[in-house]
Chains A and B, each alone.
Chain A
Amino acid sequence: MVHTYQLNGYFIAVDTGSGAVHKLDECSFELLNLFKDGLPRRLPPVLPSNLTEKFERELLEEAFGELGSLSENGSLFAADDHSAFACSLKLSPVKSMCLNVAHACNLRCDYCFASQGDFGGGIKLMTAETASRAIDFMVKESGERHNLEVDFFGGEPLMNFDVVKNTVLYARSIEKTKQKNFRFTITTNGMLLDDEKISFINKEMSNVVLSIDGRKEVHDRFRTCADGSGSYERIMPLFQKLVRERGGKDYYVRGTFTRKNLDFSADVLHLYEAGFEQISIEPAVSAQVTDYSIDESCLPRIFDEYEILAREIIQIRRGGGHINYFHFMIEPDSEPCLLKRLRGCSCGNEYVAVTPEGDIYPCHQFVGIDSFVIGNISKDELNTALREKFATANVFSKERCSSCWAKYYCSGGCNANNYAFCGSITQPHPISCEMEKKRLECAFMIQAALMPADIQDG
């Protein structure tokens, strides 16, 4: 399967089966579009007039030859024959945990999927004992996996900072004897940050997700305190300090865009100008229809905005600046393997969320839905049938995904999103699919635009 598109003056071909991406000139692009189902052995003597009027026969023969070489070396029209690997997927050890240390929040963001932090179940804080048991559970269920990751999440995890600290110290105290390597991350709204917490986070957390939506008026529209006032003025300097003192370790400033700020490229650039280089701004996720919901009618505007952002990023990088937008990120030299791409985050299988009561869910977004309880960390029994359902959800078991060119990049979408919008983890949410495809097109175009000139001429 080959996906071709034109964007920002670049002609691109994505070969689904091999994972290769090519930048074409107009002649080879037109020719490839003519033979989208596969190349004939020879260039036919008679070609459509739109090609022959634009390009000399000699040029067309040359381009046809190059496409043929790519096809022969397996980087164009490669067979998409990876379903056998998908069939072999089974339950894996647990290696990743979202630890909901606080079902409580000191902000009142309207768009919060967690019902302002308590997931609809009332305010609860995790005890140190439950958190340590969750660590023990993970060690026990992790089998031979060496790297174990724990994200402190909520609500707002800094509302239970002592438990965060205790949990890190406990895990560090056992990791050598258990032959594990813990990687901690934290997702915070920043309201309770101070020097002590910044110093602890920067020492112990391999990644930090800092929630900020961008421009002050955009951020303060939703991210309000209990008294209705905005939180931007308080958190911005704290986030800047944290990142300044982070010493190059990973972080993301992570925001949400809604129907109210479809010009979100301005928010990404605002954050860049405020000194942040690692940025993720994502669409609000809520199946509930509100005046800020993103629906199909927003898509053309969102596509334009991704294109605007892509062009800005190219300009910044060409000027020597560094900016990384999460969804335009591709790692051509260290890509994830096919097996990871088949089922993505692997929630409910390798990845679980644990609530303050110790209940285990497939991920943080399923918390509070009774039918998705996998078990409890204080009990031995896990709902294996439910885990298997998640373990076998992959791009081939999701009917709409199996014929999609982008399936090895999004891995079948977010299962929680799929369930919330379409009622099933194997039914991808069409609006999310369209946005993801556009982001990928932009990501490949940026790669093409930023290739060194000698390679481009090559």
Chain B
Amino acid sequence: MKHVTTVKKASLKQSAKTGGCGECQASCQSACKTSCTVANQKCEKH
């Protein structure tokens, strides 16, 4: 494509099918202890 470059692929729908194992880290435990960013948490399956 000339006009558009995808930085991050569409993944939400697919992740709903394969995710939900609950083995990943609780987001609050990683660094913040106060805050809200969740999208920076790694999936345990990758």
Contacts and interface: CB of A to CB of B under 8 A. Distances in A.
Contacts of B12: 17-19, 78, 82, 338, 341, 408
B15 A350 contact: no
Contacts of A332: 7-9
B35 A282 contact: yes
Interface string A341-352: 100111100110
A297 interface: no
A187 B7 contact: no
Name, among A82, A411, A416, the residue most crowded by chain B CB atoms within 10 Å (CB to CB).
Answer: A411
Nearest to B34: A285
A447 B9 CA distance: 12
Nearest to A209: B31
A21 B7 contact: yes
A93 B6 contact: no
Contacts of A440: 39
Contact of B11 (A73, A145, A335): A335
Interface size bucket, A side?
35 or more
B24 A336 contact: yes
Given A95-B22, A334-B43, A444 B3 contact: no
Given A93-B22, A326-B32, A23 B5 contact: yes
B31 A336 contact: no
Interface string B1-24: 111111111111101101110111
B34 A414 contact: yes
Given A22-B7, A62-B2, A334-B46, A254 B38 contact: no
A417 B36 contact: yes
Contacts of B13: 18, 74, 78, 338
A337 interface: yes
A146 B9 CA distance: 30
B4 A444 contact: no
Name, among A12, A66, A96, A455, the residue most crowded by chain B CB atoms within 10 Å (CB to CB).
Answer: A96
A147 B16 contact: no
Contacts of A334: 42-43, 46
Interface residues of B, number: 42
A207 interface: yes
Contact of A339 (B6, B20, B34, B36): B20
A456 B11 CA distance: 20
B43 A363 contact: no
B7 A23 contact: yes
Nearest to B15: A337
Given A339-B20, A340-B19, A414-B34, A96 B26 contact: yes
B37 A410 contact: yes
A276 interface: no
A96 B33 CA distance: 13
B36 A330 contact: no
B19 A66 contact: no
Given A62-B3, A344-B36, A337 B20 contact: yes
Contacts of B42: 331, 334, 336
Interface of B: 1-13, 15-16, 18-20, 22-44, 46
Given A23-B6, A207-B31, 5 more contacts: A75-B6, A82-B16, A185-B29, A336-B42, A444-B8
20 contacts: A23-B6, A24-B4, A70-B4, A75-B6, A96-B29, A151-B29, A185-B29, A207-B29, A331-B41, A334-B46, A335-B15, A336-B38, A336-B41, A339-B19, A339-B20, A351-B26, A410-B37, A411-B27, A451-B5, A456-B5
The 10 closest A-B pairs by CB, nearest first: A337-B19, A334-B46, A18-B10, A96-B26, A329-B40, A337-B15, A19-B12, A345-B28, A75-B10, A252-B31
Interface of A: 12, 15, 17-25, 27-28, 62-63, 66-67, 69-70, 73-75, 78, 82, 85, 92-93, 95-96, 98, 113, 145-147, 149, 151, 153, 183, 185, 187, 207, 209, 252, 254, 278, 280, 282-283, 285, 326-327, 329-341, 344-347, 350-351, 363-365, 408-414, 416-417, 432, 436, 439-440, 444, 447-448, 451, 455-456, 458
